[in-house]
Structure 1
């Protein structure tokens, strides 16, 4: 049998069809009905909390978990919350959407014999979901619930792989507790399909919308550089970001690639993202069936945060002020620019106008010590912004070059 890396496009079509039949044979549901109704509601801009409550109130499993969450210390209610409608108001629309969709998909994708692996995968997936939702809140607030579901489900196929390829076979790939990217690469070279293919087959069975499916199945593929338009492209960046984080608890992990290009985070935002995500994780992890809570969450969060900030400080493809005399990459009045020292002329620098794909479409050379930020922008027909902080960034950078 060919490895996934050797499959042609026609082979992939046949493989996914065979995988769908295999999923049927291990008893997975074809379509989580309530989740689909919740998804339909989420596509309606005028859907209210009462609409979601009406859909889920017939399922005692999720109602009980929502009531338990609403009665937790985090919401500090003087009287017990006994009404689903009241609980929904307390939790808020976005959280209810995330929990409702995630609960049903999580339950539908569960492997009853998955044991420790299944619990660990779901526990980490809930944290990825919280990280994705907080990253979305910082960059595209209208898609926070979709980002949560993408983060939750993008690695759901991992815990089904032992049942599909053999528990002994998959145990060999799990040696040394690899991070998600390493595990994906091992699957690609050794198996006829990967956990991403499993999620792709599940999404097709469940008829999930493209805005969820495409970011899920592309999360191990780096997004294109430059400006990305559309919900799918932006969710892909978030999925790739959270999918690249090693949450296995290891003390070391590779640098996080493409961090700044994907999300444009600043170091202080990375710290806030981790704080809010771990706070939400503590609150919601118990809602999801089969998820084993991460045992040393504080230590893991600190390690991940340190790696995030280190990546930002190194300026890994970041669109922010670079350290030292590296290039400065900024978006000013809607136009992306880049400034750096001219390697061939002492005391000179170059400003480039960049296209949507990051290509240099125009250049302007200037003496560093005589340049002002506003005059420099006007020289390339970019209107200086009203926000002084952008001009201050350019001035600070020019002063560094001149020092």
Structure 2
């Protein structure tokens, strides 16, 4: 099986809602209007409500409340809003994955933490449309869910090999499957017609030095995954910073003080977005300060 075949085989299990399909089709069409896009999204009242809560969250820090989808498009842009549609939908469509493979609430907490951290780091690097990094963070491990869903026994073998060390994951997946979750994530996001920047960065998020394009964004996402993983594992920030690859420091131009500032502001934003994406009843308990 190839990553592309795996993605085709899970389509019946993980189908995008009609609104996502319509939004993607519209944005691919020439001369589409923001008003038409807003009308399509507004037909899904649950999605519309979640998007408005997201745009009004502390992450976006808008100066005045955004009360309509058309206004949200004006604030974040059509492409960015489409990306947010896909990111907020992804957490709702992956169901039926065995609980011994992954705690879904914890998985999305980690992914959302990565997205928040990546977006905040991108702002400090003056990356244009830093919301892209937020979406990249939320979706960066989506390939893992596809593998869990379609190949649960192989996934169990991989988890036994890695023993919970995610840095070993790509090599273990390549040994067992012949491909890894980055390959699957790339194939799935390409199938969903997300922008090339998001697809490419997800495809190399464990290997920023190997990225041929979007090297800054890939380095920022790699750094965000490292910080998010350490934070949720209770590892001290100083220990994490000491392990950051010098190539990442050079590529981003960031320093330890900036990372500390970002991580201090992260927990509130993560919990707020968890409520939007998953709902308050299913979010995991907030970690204690360490």
Match of 1:22 in 2: 9
Match of 1:65 in 2: 50
Q: Is the 8 A contact 1:121 1:156 kept in 2?
A: no
Query: C-alpha distance in 2, partners of 1:54/1:178?
Result: 44
Match of 1:261 in 2: 250
Q: Is the 8 A contact 1:67 1:87 kept in 2?
A: no
Query: C-alpha distance in 2, partners of 1:208/1:171?
Result: 29
Match of 1:357 in 2: none
Do residues 140 (structure 1) and 126 (structure 2) align?
Answer: yes
Match of 2:224 in 1: 242
Q: Is the 8 A contact 1:38 1:55 kept in 2?
A: no
Higher RCO structure, 1 or 2 (CA under 8 Å, sep 6+): 2
Query: C-alpha distance in 1, partners of 2:70/2:9?
Result: 42
Larger radius of gyration: 1
**5 Å matches for 1:211-250?**
211-223=197-209, 232-245=214-227, 246-247=229-230, 248-249=232-233
**5 Å matches for 1:178-197?**
178-197=164-183
Query: C-alpha distance in 2, partners of 1:163/1:122?
Result: 16
Q: Deviations over 1:139-173 (max 9, x none)?
A: 13322111111111110122232222224x42343
**5 Å matches for 1:65-214?**
65-66=50-51, 83-84=67-68, 88=72, 92-93=75-76, 99-108=84-93, 110-115=94-99, 116-167=102-153, 169-175=154-160, 178-214=164-200
Change (3 A) 1:35 1:139: farther
Q: Which residue of the other structure, out of 264, 274, 280, is the alignment partner of 1:285?
A: 274
TM-score between both structures, scaled by the size of structure 1: 0.55
- Residue 14 of structure 2 aligns to a residue whose secondary structure is coil
**Distance apart, 1:263 and its partner CA:** 1.6
Query: C-alpha distance in 2, partners of 1:33/1:144?
Result: 24
**Distance apart, 1:278 and its partner CA:** 2.7
Q: Deviations over 1:335-384 (max 9, x none)?
A: xxxxxxxxxxxxxxxxxxxxxxxxxxxxxxxxxxxxxxxxxxxxxxxxxx
Query: C-alpha distance in 1, partners of 2:66/2:104?
Result: 32
Aligned residues: CA RMSD: 4.0
- Residue 164 of structure 2 aligns to a residue whose secondary structure is coil
Query: C-alpha distance in 2, partners of 1:223/1:194?
Result: 17
Q: Which residue of the other structure, out of 256, 264, 270, is the alignment partner of 2:259?
A: 270
- Residue 128 of structure 2 aligns to a residue whose secondary structure is helix
Q: Deviations over 1:17-50 (max 9, x none)?
A: 43233223x5222783255268669xx9xx87x6
**Distance apart, 1:138 and its partner CA:** 0.8
Gaps of 5+ in 2: none
Change (3 A) 1:101 1:35: farther
Change (3 A) 1:139 1:38: farther
**Distance apart, 1:270 and its partner CA:** 1.0
Q: Is the 8 A contact 1:99 1:287 kept in 2?
A: no
Q: Is the 8 A contact 1:220 1:244 kept in 2?
A: no
- Residue 208 of structure 2 aligns to a residue whose secondary structure is coil
Q: Is the 8 A contact 2:52 2:69 kept in 1?
A: no
Structure number having the greater strand percentage = 1
Match of 2:21 in 1: 33
Query: C-alpha distance in 1, partners of 2:185/2:42?
Result: 28
Gaps of 5+ in 1: 1-13, 76-80, 303-403
Structure number having the greater helix percentage = 2
TM-score between both structures, scaled by the size of structure 2: 0.74
- Residue 2 of structure 2 aligns to a residue whose secondary structure is helix
